[in-house]
Chains A and B, each alone.
Chain A
């Protein structure tokens, strides 16, 4: 058993639902107990969809366990086909139904419902949401593109986009942005899947020259299978960030046999100039902690480091399947990757790293709020506010613009930061107050701060109460602006420990400052 306060991913059948809900003509019959229909509101509330997800649940109850839950499943299957008349039927079990071992796949096949049935085996006690989505997409593509013969003559500039799904972080606008970008570059986008695709579209996948994998955690397996089965190459550079987008364009053009130069394309990108403008000078080497799904975390680290001039002080992912990629990326920044799905580990790592900005998921937003560290969301899991009405891609050039605004916004603005260092006792604009462009003074006190927990004490001790310091040194430490104070304290303590100095004096503090300034 694993103690879990927050889970970064849902169970694998939620991933399967995301694929079914992304597509048209696909219906999913899910063998599940009463109550598992909660997953519908992920789609109807968080994503604000206007229709119910195409999922029929058996919703068995305790009294059904005595009789045949298999019969309930068969009835649900037949009713779903009769009512919704899908082009393809997904069948599977949720975690509780997995324990019953009714074999939904076998049952659906004996029913002979008259539509193609794709049976899902999703081990709920082992795997999670993204894996479930990837597996479901792969099974569907295998079923519908498996027996297809690839045409002999294929235009070299034709491609498919693989990976975007329902409930994906900004997938809606990423698809728009990248499709536009590809068209401007002379590419012919044939099928976008799973988002918006039908089973018939899946069988047309082999008609394109190559595939573009926008979200590897969803479509990597499928792209590899299409390569093996139909010889379709794929591009899996994720175009998040200006540089990554340029590399992406170059690779895609090369794969399409187009000249590498991008002359005719009008690059609608302001973030490069924004980051270069003198107002952004103070962003240099701000310490940033990054956590999320593998794709977004790696992309964020590169943008933070190379395009915004931050210093990446932590990088991690909750997706073990992509641990290797994240470890490699972390090496570029001289740090060790954090691979965990335990949000308490992430919390500890953030406390230890003392970042000035956290880029993470909904959960890191909670941690950052408690630690009063600025934060921006870069990855699922996210809540309703990250399915915005306005156009807000992460990918492509407009995505880079969105990212610049979103990541810089939570930081204290430059002039205020300077004034805080100079004048520390202002009654309004002081150390503990939130940056004045965000909230009114005092509004920072979060409700849960009222009841101190052990965790809060740990954080407070870690952040505010230096042990082994003289009173004067502690006072001097408090004169350092709050957003770098943690780092100064840790450096000083490291320095003192290394030299065997005890207690830490004002002298030690400045000796350490000089030492680390090298």
Chain B
């Protein structure tokens, strides 16, 4: 089951960087989590900056009544910490009056609440007692000092797992847990494929509602659909579940390897596996091929953002024939991404953490054909004549699984196609992509 760990020589040496990090904090993950679980409400305990962050990052997609809010700490809260718990209770009461349909209230810690060591765990316990778990109250930290972007989801899922009632809960125990937010359409596709492989009692984490949770125990195996789930994996392990090691289900190769690892674990025959996956594999290869002319031979530089970068780089290199210059990741969970790193060609530079000015220097010097980076950097690079793909889109677009392999390729091809269209350049590849 375990793939061999990569030897140090085939991953190259990792550049560890310390300096300005141009990344989102974990609070940002609320933007997709509140849609994934419609009966949950996310209440950030933080400052005006936190409130401003979420509404700025969420932009126009947020309507007047979002399912998240901020309890903004004020000067008098900081003056004496004793009454902060009363204050929070009051805010929660007001919120629940307004939104009585909430089934799960999630208290989200921020930098200010962590720095003053405001105990959200205790607050959650107290509120659970007060409201008899209707709604259920959970807490996790999405602070920038502890989490980067997608790590917010990691902490949330870990809190969900820790909050699971063991096997006292009704329902059959989960055989397989698929951890990591997936677009609904992707989740349905995965569920169909797993069912066709004959794997039963599959639970997706998070589920689409806050109360559909099967017990997790020693019989449970779990697969990670996302690479940023270190804390969630640890929580599942301590509930007794064991991980199915695999690369991540991005692209045809990634999806096949991911499903194969699960199939092997559950003793699915090779014949059945091939029968189930043959058609979608063919479709994924076909869809990806449309975009390969745009990307093959292109030199790509990835800035750190979501921890999906090693998987994206592997996909770009192996399925689209791109040359990878540097793979930046805010954090490398060595064990979880070992398989991805092992598949990258020798000489690819891997960087963990960030010193953004120095990284920009490296990037400019390399003159890549495509830069995968955040929104704070993208337009400035474009204005300098470089082509970018803004990375937050990978968190907001269905990209996993077979049927999305072409869409994932298109995300990378689109800026290059656009550059070609707007510059009026003759494009021998245009026909291939249309």
Query: Measuring CB to CB, which residues of chain A are less than 8 angstroms from any residue of chain B?
Result: 1-7, 9-11, 13-14, 33-42, 44-46, 48-52, 56-62, 64-65, 76, 79, 83, 94-96, 99-100, 123-126, 128, 343, 347, 363, 366-367, 369-370, 383-385, 446-448, 451, 453-456
Contacts and interface: CB of A to CB of B under 8 A. Distances in A.
A79 B65 contact: no
B20 A6 contact: no
A454 B99 contact: yes
A83 to B, nearest CB: 6
Nearest to B141: A62
A384 B71 CA distance: 26
A41 B115 contact: no
25 contacts: A1-B87, A1-B91, A7-B48, A33-B145, A34-B144, A35-B25, A37-B20, A40-B22, A41-B374, A44-B376, A45-B375, A45-B379, A49-B379, A52-B380, A58-B20, A79-B357, A95-B49, A96-B47, A96-B111, A96-B112, A96-B145, A99-B116, A126-B74, A384-B59, A454-B101
B378 interface: yes
B417 interface: no
B163 to A, nearest CB: 23
Give the 7 A-B residue pairs with the shortest CB-CB distance, closest first: A35-B25, A35-B144, A366-B64, A40-B376, A50-B383, A96-B111, A95-B47
Nearest to B87: A1
B90 interface: yes
Contact of B71 (A3, A52, A83, A456): A3
B432 to A, nearest CB: 31
Contacts of A13: 49
Most buried by B among A39, A83, A95, A385: A95
Interface in B50-109: 51-53, 55-57, 59-60, 63-66, 69-75, 77-78, 84, 87-88, 90-91, 94-95, 97-101
B75 A50 contact: no
A123 B377 CA distance: 29
Contact of A125 (B53, B75, B94): B75
Nearest to B83: A1
Interface residues of B, number: 68
Contact of B51 (A7, A366, A454, A455): A7
Contact of A7 (B45, B55, B145): B55
B121 interface: no
A385 B99 CA distance: 30
Given A3-B94, A99-B112, A347-B64, 5 more contacts: A5-B64, A7-B72, A33-B145, A35-B53, A453-B65
Contact of B379 (A44, A447, A453): A44
Contacts of B98: 453-455
B88 to A, nearest CB: 6
Contacts of B370: none
A52 B71 CA distance: 31
A10 B49 contact: yes
Given A37-B376, A123-B75, A366-B64, A1 B69 contact: no
**Which of A9, A59, A76, A124 is packed against the most chain B CB atoms within 10 Å?**
A59
B342 interface: no
